[in-house]
Structure 1
Amino acid sequence: MERNFEVGSKRRMGTRKLTTLAMLSAIAVILGFTPLGIIPIPPVGATIMHIPVIIAAVLEGPVIGAIMGLIFGVLSIIRAVTTGNILLVAFLNPLVSVVPRILIGVGAYYAYKLVPGKSESIKVGVAAALGTLINTLGFLGMMFLLYAEPFAKANKIAVDTVGKTILGIGITHGIPEIIVAVIITVGVIMAVKKVRKN
């Protein structure tokens, strides 16, 4: 009897994880292919496409978070190809567009788990902020390390100013992205946890 309960419980958890993954993947696709996923802050748009990755990681663990990150990375490649992004060569490199996005889920989960204290909203807020930071620093950092010259050419700037320009983008986009991610993620996760308790 106890074993049957264990098997049923594991099956329910597996179903819940897959349902959460499917639902958040659908949201990621909507964000990826509509203007909803981008906050227009020139010279490039600030994204909120990483938020489903953070939510998946906090609710369902690092594996589901990493899978959501992979989905986000693949969507960003598809978006770059279909919109004719001027830095397409960079987006096609998984080190730029996929790996940092996979790390969002892993980093957000462990931030949530390792933050001391009992306040769920603080733990979720820290996870959202760190996940966003991983996305911004990972993507822009890899862009700088691997594609400084194409970036300079695309933005019509000198190569020796790429570092400052990317840092500026990181600050102007990173701060609004963190604020929006914390507000949305805390709201969504607290609501889901409340529903799951009932």
Structure 2
Amino acid sequence: MKNQTNKKLVQISFFGMIIVVMSLTPLGFIQVGPIKATLVHIPVIFASLLLGSKFGGMMGFIFGFMSLIQNTMAPGLLSFAFSPMIPVIGTSSGSWLALIIVFIPRIIVGLIPGYLYHKTKSLSVSVLSGSLLNTILVLSLIGILFTNAYASAMNVNASSLIKIIVGIVFTNGMIEALIALMIIPPLYKRLVKLGQ
């Protein structure tokens, strides 16, 4: 029992460190035009599959926290949506609503893949769902909570935001999901085989 607990602590620490390192280097957040594409969701999804939803949710929280730090320390055009310390476009102050965007989708990304895999036994469905959920939830929440500022940042009318969001989901979101799909299932299968 003690060995299992120690093994789990080592695994949690390992995934947490990968998330921190990726978040603090160009590996984790890649600036693509006005948005930052992310690969940090990969260790979060992997942890959810390997350790279960609860621990995946913890890794999602770390992902959110590192996103908050990264957007505060190295702000980009949309950082107001990820850090309450960055002024919202058109105002002189930040908004606490950024905390919803930075944490809720990332925690959900940690919860869902492990749950889905437990129910469906499909790695592909679990990985794709986790990755796409991150993109869809983040962009949708920005569109809902920061409609005017988001439209201003993207240089479009607020009524055009849905097209922008759908376009990003089908470009960046699909690329992020495909990268996750290429990395996670083979690595997961290998680790499970080694652990038997």
Moved more, 83-92 or 100-109: 83-92
Q: Cα deviation per residue 1:53-75 (whole Å; 9 max; x = unaligned)? A: 11111111111100000000011
Aligned-partner SS, 2:33: coil
Aligned length: 182
* Runs of 5+ unmatched residues, structure 1: 1-8, 117-122
User: Residue in 1 aligned with 2:117?
Assistant: 112
Cα deviation, residue 86, structure 1: 2.5
Q: Distance in 1 between matches of 2:24 and 2:115?
A: 29
* Runs of 5+ unmatched residues, structure 2: 84-97
2:95 counterpart of 1:96: no
Which has the larger share of helix? Answer: 1
User: Residue in 1 aligned with 2:65?
Assistant: 74
- What letter matches 1:44 in structure 2? I
Q: Distance in 2 between matches of 1:40 and 1:91?
A: 15
Aligned-partner SS, 1:98: helix
- The 4+ residue runs of structure 1 with deviation greater than 6 A are none
User: Residue in 2 aligned with 1:163?
Assistant: 162
1:85 to 53, 76, 90: 76
User: Residue in 2 aligned with 1:143?
Assistant: 142
Cα deviation, residue 97, structure 1: 1.0
Larger radius of gyration: 1
**Identical amino acids, percent of aligned pairs:** 31
RMSD: 1.5
User: Residue in 1 aligned with 2:50?
Assistant: 59
After TM superposition, the score normalised by the length of structure 2 is: 0.87
User: Residue in 2 aligned with 1:4?
Assistant: none
2:35 counterpart of 1:30: no
Contact persistence 2:20–2:66 (CA under 8 A): yes
